């Protein structure tokens, strides 16, 4: 993919910031519609957006690496649901390993870019609801989704995901850690996420939200590049606390280190 200029990044940042404010200020009753509207507008106005112009080989590598985290929870009889499926590359790749895939997204613009597959069903959501039968999903998966939700909607969506899962089902969630952020386009222009990452989370927040939504067992993993190891939540919380006490300049340097990114990426498998 062609490297974007500073001007192109700034254009996206200003648009995202404006659209994000529109979403943050939308009344709850209207947010279901606004989710789809703002993402469709973003993809229409930013045709060079990375999600629309990913290098196929790089994207294939990324999908393969994330699948290594999810694969231990899958079997040929699994009904898998990907939330925030985007280009559906993960859903299509995983389809050969499972019985059926449901790919959920808010944007009709990006999901129309993929071919249909016989065991991949693309459905549109309002960003909060999960439009599947209750208790029908074995494994749910999302990557870079929670941070895009209005913070007032996060618990509602998690509760809907839990209801979609069968008893004993698992939700594998990947989201960036706030202590090494911001992780959206505002990373180049601001100290806090102010684009389409409406709220970035730390481990304690994630644990509290998932527990409040009714998930009973939470397992955390650190790693990247397809290699993940289980890690204690207490250890992650202690590492976050230590990192956030460092001088700002040191944190800005360290957040780009591979070890830092591997340690602090929020990778959680939550079971019902």
Q: Is the pLDDT of residue 28 over 80?
A: yes
Report CA 39 to chain centroid distance, whole Å: 15
Phi, psi at 144, each rounded to 5°: 60, 55
| pTM of the predicted protein model | 0.91
1 located within any domain? no
CATH number at residue 247: 3.40.50.150
Q: Are the C-beta atoms of 145 and 246 separated by less than 8 Å? A: no
Q: Are the C-beta atoms of 70 and 169 separated by less than 8 Å? A: no
56 located within any domain? yes
140 located within any domain? yes
Residue 227's H or E segment, with its range, is strand 227-231
pLDDT tens column, 252-264: 999 999 999 999 9
The DSSP letter of residue 147 is G
- Tally of structural domains, the chain: 1
49 located within any domain? yes
> 112: burial class by Cβ within 10 Å (0-12, 13-18, 19+)?
exposed
pLDDT tens column, 200-259: 999 999 999 999 999 999 999 999 888 999 999 999 999 999 999 999 999 999 999 999
**CA separation for the pair 176, 143 (Å, rounded):** 9
Q: Are the C-beta atoms of 113 and 94 separated by less than 8 Å? A: no
- 208: its two tokens: 């509290």
**CA separation for the pair 134, 36 (Å, rounded):** 23
200 located within any domain? yes
**CA separation for the pair 85, 81 (Å, rounded):** 9
Phi, psi at 205, each rounded to 5°: -65, -45
**CA separation for the pair 78, 65 (Å, rounded):** 20
Quote the domain boundaries for residue 116.
6-271
- Per-residue pLDDT at 231: 96
169 located within any domain? yes
Count Cβ atoms below 10 Å from residue 204 Cβ, excluding itself.
Answer: 13
**CA separation for the pair 20, 150 (Å, rounded):** 9
pLDDT tens column, 85-130: 988 899 999 999 999 999 998 876 555 555 665 689 888 888 889 9
């Amino acid at each position: 993919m062609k490297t974007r200029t500073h001007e192109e990044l700034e254009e996206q940042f200003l648009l995202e910031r404006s659209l994000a404010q529109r979403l943050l200020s939308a009344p709850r009753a209207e947010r279901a519609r606004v989710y789809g509207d703002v993402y469709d507008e973003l993809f229409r106005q930013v045709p060079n957006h990375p999600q629309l112009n990913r290098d196929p080989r790089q994207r294939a590598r990324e999908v393969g690496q994330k699948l290594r985290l999810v694969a231990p929870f899958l079997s040929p009889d699994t009904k898998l649901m990907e939330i925030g499926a985007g280009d559906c590359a993960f859903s299509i790749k995983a389809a050969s390993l499972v019985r059926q895939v449901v790919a959920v997204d808010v944007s009709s613009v990006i999901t129309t870019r993929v071919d249909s597959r016989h065991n991949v069903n693309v459905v549109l959501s309002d960003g909060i609801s999960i439009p599947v039968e209750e208790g029908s999903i074995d494994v749910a998966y999302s990557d870079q989704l929670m941070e895009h939700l209005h913070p007032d909607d996060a618990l509602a969506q998690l509760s809907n995901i839990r209801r979609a899962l069968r008893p004993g089902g698992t939700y594998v969630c990947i989201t960036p850690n706030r202590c090494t952020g911001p992780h959206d386009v505002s990373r180049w222009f601001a100290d806090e996420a102010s684009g389409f990452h409406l709220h970035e989370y730390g481990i304690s927040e994630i644990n509290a939200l998932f527990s409040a939504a009714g998930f009973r067992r939470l397992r955390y993993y650190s790693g990247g590049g397809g290699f993940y190891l289980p890690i204690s939540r207490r250890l992650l919380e202690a590492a976050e606390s230590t990192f956030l006490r460092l001088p700002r300049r040191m944190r800005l340097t360290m957040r780009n280190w591979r070890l830092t990114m591997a340690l602090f990426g929020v990778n959680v498998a939550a079971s019902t």
